[in-house]
Chains A and B, each alone.
Chain A
Amino acid sequence: MELLEVKNLCKTYGKGDTKVEALKDMSFSVSKGEFVAVVGESGSGKSTLLNAIGALDTPTSGKVFIDGKDIFSMGEEKLTIFRRRNIGFIFQSYNLIPELNVEQNIIFPLLLDYQKPNRKYVEEILEVLGLRDRKNYLPRQLSGGQQQRVAIGRALITHPMLILADEPTGNLDSKNSNDVVTLLKAASRRYQQTILMITHNKNIASMADRVLQISDGILTDLGGRAE
């Protein structure tokens, strides 16, 4: 079953001489539970694609369906709520809220939804991510790897169907990088989540079920594993 379907997605910046086509008529789909890596040179359009799928950015044309729903046909408020409940984001620069401690950062999307967090699940996530001892720490008291694990926890807490990760290991050393991706993969297997992850790291890409390559805004499906 297709969870994510991208149809004829185009994104153009600027006009005339300064016109840049970041995404050129991109179409692909991802099945439920699949772990897909997106690779490509810097500036090839990877982040643009991810931001468009996550509805953080609007494409020039084309459509994105998540679980059969056309996300760009939703209004701003509805889209925000849809995003909050169905998409988990992980950024290279973690983007944690400095005033919230580890646990609060993780449950933040639930708090925004005025839901009561399931204690058991929160504990489980903290355990899985190895953050149990640090749940009352503020982000600035954590290392980069720990902060990224908090970001993963935040992305998992709402049981989103889709996790979008933009170079989650970009700021981490190789050991931490491997740990984070292993964790992410394990978590997604456990909770039946689909992951779309941008990475530069070939080792990490090799851990994915499928690899998509983007070059100058054009997408090529490399199939099973990256080279």
Chain B
Amino acid sequence: MKSYLDLIGQYGRVHKKKNRITVWCIAIAVCLVTAIFGLADMAVRAQTIYQINSQGNWHLIIKNIDEEKAKLIGNRVDVAVSGWVLQGSNGILRDKPLAFVGMNEALAPEMTLVLQDGFYPQKSNEALLNNLAMKQKNISVGDTATVTLPNGEQKEYKIVGSFKDMSMLLKADTYGLVLSESGIRAIADKNFIARYYIQFKHGANMRKAIDEIKDNYHLSEDQVSENAVLLGLTGQSRNSYVMYLYRTAAVFFVMVLTAGVLMIASSFNMSVLERIQFFGLLRCLGASKKQVKKFVLTEGIHFSLNGIPIGLLLGTLILWGSCAFLKYVNPAFFGDMPLFGISWISLISGVVVGFLTVILASLSPCKRAAKVSPLSAVTGNVGQSNVLQSKRAVKTMHKRVEIAMGIHHAFVSKKNILLMTGSFAMSIILFLTFHVTVDFMHQAIQPLKPYAPDISVISGDNTTSLSEDLFEQIKNNPGVNRAYGRMFAYDIPATSTQGDGKINLISYEKNQFEWAKKQLTEGSVDEVVKEEDKVLIVYSDDLKWKKGDRIDLEFPSGEKNVEIAGILSSSPFDSAPGTQTVICSEKTFKKLTGKRGYTIIDMQMKKDASDETVSQIRNMTTSQMRFSDRRQGNKEAKTAFYTYAIFIYGFLVIIGSITVFNIINSMNVSVSSRMNQYGMMRAVGMSGKQLHRMVTTEAVTYAVCGCLTGCILGMPLHRFIFHSMITSHWGLKWQPPFVVLVFIIGVTFLATFLSVIGPVKKISKMDIVNVVNAQ
């Protein structure tokens, strides 16, 4: 030993177990901060990748400006890529609708255009065609294709390459032709839309640049549109909703930091307090107050040096797990995302939180340790010099003594109860408020509904023109997992005693009735399936009818009467105000309208269904039908949902497990600090069961205080965040999150009871002889 501070190492070697608890506590807090900030960082990155891949990598669009201004803007130092994009539709390629788009080659990859074959068009008579068009119309690179332009003229293009199908084109069942800028300008007329797209350089002050551009070129608000999501993700949006989100993020940031600080402070405080006597001994042996302070602080830094790397590693492992999941969900989108990515912001915040908290947390115990009187440390009575002493005696009058002692232990030091209640409450508040993001996710991103079709065949004129034969053919195709059609009759005049109006009558079959059961708020779906004059109605603000009402429907063939047997909260259909959506069985529909045949046939494909199968179905359709391939769009929707879900549920799982760890750790620390007292109590006759009850009471006291504080502070915060993230945007009213609250309180109490098991075992195994003779 060269310095008295070397004692820290020696002490650590002897009290490995005790120190391990403190080190783990620091590690867990650092892991919480690292994982949450890392996940947030990765979420922003993943969302950015998703946005760029699905919407294009641009920040600003300007309309109606002249070439000269556009050029000046494009030449700004902070602009990375810019250029004109001209779009037009209503073209035809061999009987199929065709959309046109043209831009310069540099801009193309930024606008989600993925070249699959050949090269980008250079001359005005060169073009790229989407993959599906190439395949379906049997066109190869190098062929010439004759295209009907929107103005009716015919023009020949040399196809110099193909590009990857876009979900937008597939859904609309339209082909896409990509031209060079000169090519599109040659055919553009007033029906074409020209927009100037700008992508700023990474790290540029985009906010300032956008304002400058608007000012310098006198652009009105209508002329300029920003990519709010992408700007929001880079922290540069001024969109009021994004500002709300930033504010929410700031609240989360502060809460996570507080949780980390509280956890470390509480365990560190205990770790020092339980060794007050040891510090007294140091003082007795001649250590000055300053030296004791230095000892505690240095020891804290030692703990940090051990705990922080473990925390950083754990946090990063959680992060990698999430990234791996994302890559698995959509390798096409997130293929470029590094599996073992490092989030510097999370590592730095982890380190800062770890060190700062330990230093701050050790300041106060430092002072207390230094204050210990050398005399009290050596004259012996265990606990005499322990700072965890009460000023008042336990109230043993009305409670069993062990219960009274347990409660007393919890409240014995103001600081202790504050820290313990604080760390319990913080877990609850964190869980409650983070749970708002789940509601946010369900509002912001519609998860793929069970009824979402992969492919739809739609009657060209929205009548019941799709024959039942076609439906049977589709249904019997081996690649189709499920086919379900709907018949539509629009704007049927309806009268009833409650008021008149119009309805859209739609037929369901068994799959759709089954899905609709989830939306049923009143009545029965089965009655509508079985009985012919019964219908379901979809709730709307102007709905006057109730369950059991009878309505008269006026069909060309005569008046028919139906009864409302049930009310659905929502449906996938839109209707004009004053027009209600009424759903009936196919049998009822046929009986009421006298029509046979479907308006739309939806199908969900089997997982192994190939493009061949899709082509077969497409070939069954005629030009009077519309064909919509939504598979790619569905996949993108799924990806969008998963990118959010993985991070949001990731947050919640981390917070949940931190709650459990924190509680178990806190109880461990609290019990270790009173080990001697427990030994004494056992010596004078406290039984194992009584000890268990005493420790449980102490833990439950913390839990009750923590839950109460958590609810009192958490509810208004939940409301505030709900308002910022959801009410302000979707108008959804706040409701107390009782289910979430019950869940997290349940987890807290479960963890509390679990947390007692270890310490009680430790107490019952302890050597009483050593305790009672300890000096």
Q: Is B234 an interface residue (CB 8 A)?
A: no
Interface residues of B in 621-635 (CB under 8 A from A): none
Interface residues of A in 67-116 (CB under 8 A from B): 76-77, 80-81, 83-85, 89, 91-101, 104, 108-109, 111-114
Chain B residues positioned under 8 Å from A31 (CB to CB): none
Q: Is B690 an interface residue (CB 8 A)?
A: yes
Cross-interface CB contact of B677 among A80, A98, A104, A171, cutoff 8 Å: A98
- Shortest distance in angstroms between A173's beta carbon and chain B's nearest beta carbon? 13
Find out whether the CB atom of A99 lies under 8 angstroms from the CB atom of B390.
Answer: yes
In the complex, the chain A residue whose C-beta lies closest to that of B388 is A98
Q: Is A2 an interface residue (CB 8 A)?
A: no
- Shortest distance in angstroms between A78's beta carbon and chain B's nearest beta carbon? 9
If A81-B687, A83-B685 touch, whether A93 touches B382 (CB-CB below 8 Å) is: yes
In the complex, the chain B residue whose C-beta lies closest to that of A102 is B393
Chain B residues positioned under 8 Å from A89 (CB to CB): 683-684, 772
Find out whether the CB atom of A98 lies under 8 angstroms from the CB atom of B689.
Answer: no
The number of A-B residue pairs with CB atoms under 8 Å apart is 110
Residue-wise, chain B 355-392 has the 8 Å CB interface mask toward A (1 for contact) of: 00000000000000000000000011111101001110
Residue-wise, chain A 164-191 has the 8 Å CB interface mask toward B (1 for contact) of: 0010000100000000000000000000
Chain B residues positioned under 8 Å from A218 (CB to CB): none
- Shortest distance in angstroms between B576's beta carbon and chain A's nearest beta carbon? 74
Chain B residues positioned under 8 Å from A94 (CB to CB): 381
Chain B residues positioned under 8 Å from A96 (CB to CB): 381, 680
Chain A residues positioned under 8 Å from B680 (CB to CB): 95-97
Q: Which of A32-40, A121-129, A134-142 contacts B (4 or more CB under 8 A)?
A: A134-142
Find out whether the CB atom of B412 lies under 8 angstroms from the CB atom of A112.
Answer: no
Find out whether the CB atom of A140 lies under 8 angstroms from the CB atom of B687.
Answer: no
Chain A residues positioned under 8 Å from B775 (CB to CB): 93
Q: Is B774 an interface residue (CB 8 A)?
A: yes
**For the complex, what is the distance from the CA of A99 to the CA of B390, rounded to whole Å?**
6
Find out whether the CB atom of A77 lies under 8 angstroms from the CB atom of B687.
Answer: yes
If A95-B381, A171-B380 touch, whether A112 touches B687 (CB-CB below 8 Å) is: yes
Q: Which of B40-48, B213-221, B338-346, B400-408 contacts A (4 or more CB under 8 A)?
A: B400-408
**For the complex, what is the distance from the CA of A77 to the CA of B405, rounded to whole Å?**
20
Find out whether the CB atom of A93 lies under 8 angstroms from the CB atom of B774.
Answer: yes
**For the complex, what is the distance from the CA of A101 to the CA of B396, rounded to whole Å?**
11
Max count, chain A CB within 10 A of own CB: residue among B380, B684, B686: B684
Find out whether the CB atom of A56 lies under 8 angstroms from the CB atom of B690.
Answer: no
If A56-B772, A99-B390 touch, whether A109 touches B412 (CB-CB below 8 Å) is: no
Interface residues of A in 29-70 (CB under 8 A from B): 47, 51, 56-57
Find out whether the CB atom of A104 lies under 8 angstroms from the CB atom of B389.
Answer: no
Q: Is A154 an interface residue (CB 8 A)?
A: yes
Q: Is A147 an interface residue (CB 8 A)?
A: yes
Q: Is B705 an interface residue (CB 8 A)?
A: no
What's the interface size class on B, roughly?
35 or more
Find out whether the CB atom of B686 lies under 8 angstroms from the CB atom of A91.
Answer: no
**For the complex, what is the distance from the CA of A144 to the CA of B688, rounded to whole Å?**
30
Chain B residues positioned under 8 Å from A113 (CB to CB): 685
Chain B residues positioned under 8 Å from A99 (CB to CB): 389-390, 393-394, 405, 408-409, 412
What's the interface size class on A, roughly?
35 or more
Chain A residues positioned under 8 Å from B767 (CB to CB): 57
In the complex, the chain A residue whose C-beta lies closest to that of B400 is A114
Find out whether the CB atom of B393 lies under 8 angstroms from the CB atom of A136.
Answer: yes
Chain A residues positioned under 8 Å from B390 (CB to CB): 98-99, 138
Chain A residues positioned under 8 Å from B687 (CB to CB): 77, 80-81, 84, 112
Q: Is B473 an interface residue (CB 8 A)?
A: no
Q: Is B520 an interface residue (CB 8 A)?
A: no
If A92-B773, A99-B390 touch, whether A139 touches B401 (CB-CB below 8 Å) is: no
If A93-B775, A166-B773 touch, whether A100 touches B677 (CB-CB below 8 Å) is: no
Chain A residues positioned under 8 Å from B285 (CB to CB): none
- Shortest distance in angstroms between A92's beta carbon and chain B's nearest beta carbon? 7
Q: Is B681 an interface residue (CB 8 A)?
A: yes
In the complex, the chain A residue whose C-beta lies closest to that of B391 is A138
Interface residues of A in 129-169 (CB under 8 A from B): 136, 138-140, 144, 147, 154, 166
Max count, chain B CB within 10 A of own CB: residue among A56, A84, A94: A56
Q: Is B769 an interface residue (CB 8 A)?
A: yes
Chain B residues positioned under 8 Å from A114 (CB to CB): 400
Find out whether the CB atom of A111 lies under 8 angstroms from the CB atom of B677.
Answer: no
In the complex, the chain B residue whose C-beta lies closest to that of A48 is B769
Find out whether the CB atom of B683 lies under 8 angstroms from the CB atom of A80.
Answer: no
If A112-B401, A138-B393, A140-B389 touch, whether A81 touches B685 (CB-CB below 8 Å) is: yes
Instruction: Report which A residues bind B (CB closer than 8 A).
Output: 47, 51, 56-57, 76-77, 80-81, 83-85, 89, 91-101, 104, 108-109, 111-114, 136, 138-140, 144, 147, 154, 166, 171
Interchain residue pairs A-B with the least CB separation, the first 6: A84-B685, A111-B401, A101-B393, A80-B687, A98-B383, A95-B680
18 additional A-B residue pairs with CB within 8 Å, beyond A51-B769, A95-B684, A97-B681: A47-B773, A56-B768, A57-B769, A77-B687, A80-B682, A80-B686, A89-B772, A93-B380, A93-B775, A96-B680, A100-B394, A101-B393, A109-B685, A112-B685, A112-B690, A139-B384, A140-B384, A147-B381
Task: List 11 A-B pairs, Cβ < 8 Å.
Answer: A56-B768, A77-B689, A84-B686, A85-B685, A89-B772, A93-B380, A93-B772, A104-B396, A111-B396, A112-B687, A154-B684
